[in-house]
Structure 1
């Protein structure tokens, strides 16, 4: 082969090799997910509002274009720990009733450790989408709450670049207000008052938000979260909690039992389950003493006809239970009230006994509202008979109830082991 022929052949082979390698590299790159699109899809899934894009240069926010975002199991911020909570079999209650009694572990939501994480995130997302909140602008979220919603809002406010101002009744457990202070929220513990009083914790929060927005000397705006009336509340459970339960049980649910603090959880879940399962699922309200919702479900009125709703100047009847029970109806409760089939009234004594039982028998340490839910779930299971599936909500840990509810419950194993008969007396 001549000198020229040898070089032509070598050049041809080299060109062919380079072309092949370039084509192979192009195919590989084409098969990889686009990082920008992946980040955008993940942001959408996690509920990061389109109206408030997170800049890589914004203080307090991670780089959403980081290669870690495209990896499975890596979330964006504390918001990514909200939802998809476990559904667990409560073994002792299931064994004694012959039913499958399941608890949705909402205390494992990772921001404020309660179902109110879902609500708080939904409220903030809605406000950002409507242009009512702008991160790091001095905007402040105001809310009247007995504790859990305030904790969720204060946590997420920190994550999103807002301030939180929380109003709560002074008779609530001090653990809640102490935690709010540690989260950097402004906290006011106000004297309990009827809803018609402007010093009621909800009314005061609403008025403070208005005053903030109207005051040019205050930075940003004031947003009243309005958990009792906003559609962002029940929708968080209609679009999140209920579909999760439906998927986790393969739709095999005979009864759903929950209390009502604002009404969002039971309404959102009831509306979803009735649309999916119809009459095959029974929705039961668990109501503590002092609440008027039991009568609302059973008799159509909160109080006697001479004590019309919204006109009676009264304080809430004394109860050790926090977080659920109302002496008025709310928009969030009314949304799903037609889907509630029954109501069960639970006393403080029954709630205390259930809290002790769950800790002694199952190692489940929960607060007063969860105890009410579980007692009503057992009563529902006994009414339905063996072989049925009953789902309820485990709202928050007993850690937030040490100074009030659990102080009355006492230490576990401080007395003889409780029997199921003792529990149900």
Structure 2
């Protein structure tokens, strides 16, 4: 047996029991592994549904251009379908999204426009507004509008809900879903509640999003809105696909908990998932006291970890945001082990001879160069030697005539791996920005000394 095209492989994703990461939860917990869809995310389901419904209604015509604001996964599903069906794609996304998502969309031949995250949805620069403008300007174009297009939730009502019901033999008691557009939780939840009204549907939200407070109070509070890092869930407006009547409660998860739990799912269960799955598991653990041993919980694992290699699976990225403990040596811990002292610099107007004398007196092999107090370069013993061999009279010249470009700058959370990669034949040291605005220096000797303990 074979499939006629890749679109026919969408759906029928496996349900897998979680064991280690949920050991403290008094229930059976099953993960719906949506990464096995051809686009590696649950968004494949609704992408093809939106296209097919638009074709039937005449909104999407042959040879047309699909224009959508997407964080990546919906775009992947749309781009994949567009290739098979002969459409072009233009996507707008935000600068919050991982580079891997943008690169993946471009790999499918889509044009991707990256817009600023921290603007209001109605701002002309927002990825919502830009996609709407392009729809007006580009001939024969169609905007799916995944947030308000009810084909989104209908796809899950027709597919995801029935699959879960059949796979659990009707035993499911709780559905846990990270909520972004709202299509997955609303469509799946609606189907399941029609089969059994006692099933609880829990939505996972993030801090900086409006969903939880709106569900609990009916108030759309703009004070709830602020920038957040978690991808794929939460919104600063109310998409039409979010059916608050279907969702029993929302639980908020911090950026840190979502990021770290994403990694833990991979490490403890061997399932390579994205950020929204980590948030969903973190939210489930926060709600564990509401579960009983006889409960059967299904958690949606929305997308694949490969989309987050530069973020949640990158230790330097985590350290920069204070999400990861200093298990490895960092610039901060290396400086703590180093002998303290005033950082020696040399003004660029000083002579090479004066600089060498300073370096000899201080027993250092390199020195940052300043101009009016600002760092402008570096001088190393090798620079002086090369210059003198070429022209002995250079000892009377100014430092700026022989200096090299300044040492690389890093922050206090930079890992030892990154520090080691920056210290090479071109740079014998790195400069560390301190919290009070000053800087310190780390050399290869300092790293060795810190490792030795």
Same fold (TM over 0.5): yes
Taking the aligned partners of 1:413 and 1:379, their CA distance within structure 2 comes to 21
Matching residue of 1:55: none
Change (3 A) 1:165 1:338: same
* Structure 1 length-normalised TM: 0.72
Q: Are 1:381 and 1:388, in contact at CA under 8 Å, matched by a contact in 2?
A: no
- In structure 2, how many angstroms separate the alpha carbons of the residues matched to 1:404 and 1:119? 26
- Determine the C-alpha separation between the residues in 2 that align with 1:189 and 1:274: 39
Q: Is the 8 A contact 2:21 2:264 kept in 1?
A: no
Q: Which runs of 5+ in 1 are unaligned?
A: 1-72, 214-220, 417-425
The aligned residue for residue 97 of structure 2 is 172
Asked which structure has the greater RCO (Cα within 8 Å, sep 6+), the reply is: 1
Q: Give the equivalent residue in structure 1 for 2:112.
A: 187
Q: What is aligned with 2:43? A: 116
How far apart in 1 are the matches of 2:11 and 2:325? Answer: 34
Partners of 1:357 and 1:80 in 2: CA distance: 32
> By how many angstroms is 1:103 displaced?
0.7
Q: Kindly state the Cα deviation for residue 415 of structure 1 after the two structures are TM-superposed.
A: 5.0
CA deviations 1:14-40 (Å, max 9, x no partner) are: xxxxxxxxxxxxxxxxxxxxxxxxxxx
* Partner residue, 1:246: 165
Count of residue correspondences: 322
Q: Is the 8 A contact 1:377 1:391 kept in 2?
A: no
Residues 26 and 291, structure 2, Cα contact 8 Å, conserved in 1: no
Alpha-carbon distance, 1:380 to partner: 3.2
Would the alpha carbon gap of residues 381 and 254 (structure 1) be closer, same or farther in structure 2, given more than 3 Å must change? farther
Would you say the 8 A contact 2:263–2:278 is kept in 1? no
- The equivalent of 2:135 in structure 1 is 209
Larger displacement relative to structure 2 (88-97 or 182-191): 88-97
Flag the structure with higher strand content.
2
Are 1:294 and 2:294 matched, yes or no? no
Stretches of structure 2 lacking an aligned partner (at least 5 in a row): 329-453
Shift of the alpha carbon at 1:350?
1.3
| Aligned partner of 2:78 among 129, 153, 178 | 153
Secondary structure (helix, strand or coil) at the match of 2:123 reads coil
Give the structure with the larger helix fraction: 1
Question: 2:199 matched to 1:281?
Answer: yes
* 1:384 and 2:288 are equivalent in the alignment: no
Cα distance change of structure 1 residues 413 and 191 upon mapping to structure 2, 3 Å threshold: closer
Partner of 1:328: 237
Deviation by residue 1:300-349 (Cα, 9 ceiling, x = unmatched): 2231xxx4xxxx8x9x623221111111111101xx21121111111112
* Alignment match of 1:143 (pick from 55, 58, 68): 68
TM-score normalised per structure 2: 0.68
Q: 1:250 to 1:131 in 2, by over 3 A?
A: same
Partners of 1:413 and 1:203 lie apart in 2 by 39
TM superposition shift of 1:92 = 1.2
8 Å Cα contact 1:356-1:409 kept in structure 2: no
Deviations 1:79-121 (A, max 9, x none): 11101100110111343313111111111111x2111101110
Residue 413 of structure 1 and its aligned partner are, at CA, apart by 12
